């Protein structure tokens, strides 16, 4: 009880009751849908424990960066690092983006459970998304056209996948379907026997099946040791080194309760 009271005092009165930072009374977080489950879990815990309201929006990594740059949020959730042009835009407005790795993630390549293909090489996967492999029979599957599913252009997950799999300067085939979130890709793949897509590790369930890439399935150990070739860190960005409520929120990932929440949402502690 005493510890909680002291933390609340730090949150609300360290700067004086009349001049308390608004971010110590309410925190706005915007950005990645992939980081969303972690952010929402943290938010529910934080509000219940400290009485600080935390709103979580999932408009995509790019929009999260814009929100931080424009002062519309205190924390930007991103599934990719900030780009140089985003950092430059932030500094032009007096914002100093600081990255905090909140979790590790494997971009799971998923197919319909009935698809017999169990593994693809990274080269084959890239060829499918670039459009040079178009039929499952070319990779040991049935004679069926591959329905390629991607994310929207503002998605950090899309950019991470393109960077790691499709190749620098290459393009995803123009006929690829675009979905707006991890959940939307999962739903489309689960209802389309010839589809392929990619989602964050925390979104995998029995409605889809993750396939191995270069013979390695995505999982805790393969992501941690980077043997799974489509792995990445997930970030929370703040304006400068955070303090007060924002600092405590970002720091949750280093606590036992935060690490438990990260694991429970299907992601991996860094």
Which tens digit of pLDDT belongs to each residue from 75-100? Answer: 999 999 999 999 999 999 999 999 99
Q: Which domain holds residue 113?
A: 105-231
Do both 43 and 143 map to the same domain?
Answer: no
Where the chain has pLDDT below 70, the residues are 1-24
The reported pLDDT for the residue numbered 85 is: 96
**What is the dihedral sign for C-alpha 157, 159, 161, 163?**
negative
Residue 178 and residue 207 in one domain: yes
Residues 214 and 258 in one domain: no
| 145, 251: one domain | no
In this structure, the answer to whether residues 128 and 221 fall within a common structural domain is yes
In terms of domains, do 209 and 237 share one? no
Residue 198 and residue 133 share a domain: yes
Q: Do 89 and 123 share a domain, yes or no? A: no
Whole-prediction pTM: 0.80
Give the model's pLDDT for residue 120: 98
Give 217-256 pLDDT, tens digit per residue.
Answer: 999 999 999 999 999 999 999 999 999 999 999 999 999 9
127 shares its domain with 43:
no
What total number of domains does the chain contain?
2
**For residue 24, what pLDDT is reported?**
65
CA 117, CA 96: separation in Å to the nearest integer? 46
| 124 and 226 assigned to the same domain | yes
Q: Please count the residues of the chain.
A: 270
Q: What is the DSSP letter of 198?
A: E
Task: Based on the fold, state whether residues 89 and 131 are members of the same structural domain.
Answer: no
- 181: in domain: yes
Is residue 269 situated within a structural domain? Answer: no
CB burial of residue 96 (10 Å; 0-12, 13-18, 19+): exposed
CATH (domain of 175): 3.40.190.10
The pLDDT, as a whole number, for residue 15 is 37
> Is position 150 within any domain?
yes
């Amino acid at each position: 009880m005493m510890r909680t009271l002291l933390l609340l005092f730090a949150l609300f009165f360290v700067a004086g009751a009349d001049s308390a930072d608004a971010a110590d009374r309410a925190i706005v977080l915007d950005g990645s849908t992939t980081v969303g489950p972690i952010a929402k879990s943290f938010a529910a815990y934080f509000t219940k424990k400290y009485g600080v309201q935390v709103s979580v929006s999932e408009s995509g990594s790019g929009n999260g960066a814009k929100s931080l740059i424009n002062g519309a949020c205190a924390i930007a959730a991103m599934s990719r690092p900030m780009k140089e042009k985003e950092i430059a835009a932030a500094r032009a407005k007096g914002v100093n983006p600081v990255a905090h790795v909140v979790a590790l993630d494997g971009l799971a390549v998923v197919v319909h459970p009935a698809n017999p293909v169990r593994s693809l090489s990274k080269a084959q996967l890239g060829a499918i998304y670039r459009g040079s492999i178009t039929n499952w029979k070319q990779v040991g599957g049935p004679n069926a056209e591959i329905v390629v599913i991607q994310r929207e252009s503002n998605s950090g997950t899309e950019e991470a996948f393109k960077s790691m799999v499709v190749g620098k300067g290459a393009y995803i085939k123009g006929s690829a379907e675009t979905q707006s979130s991890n959940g939307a890709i999962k739903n489309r793949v689960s209802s389309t026997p010839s589809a392929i897509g990619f989602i964050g590790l925390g979104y995998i369930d029995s409605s889809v099946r993750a396939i191995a890439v270069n013979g390695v399935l995505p999982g805790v150990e393969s992501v941690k040791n980077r043997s799974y070739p489509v792995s990445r860190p997930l970030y929370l960005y703040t304006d400068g080194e955070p303090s007060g409520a924002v600092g405590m929120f970002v720091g949750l990932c280093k606590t036992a309760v935060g690490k438990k929440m990260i694991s429970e949402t299907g992601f991996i502690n860094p």
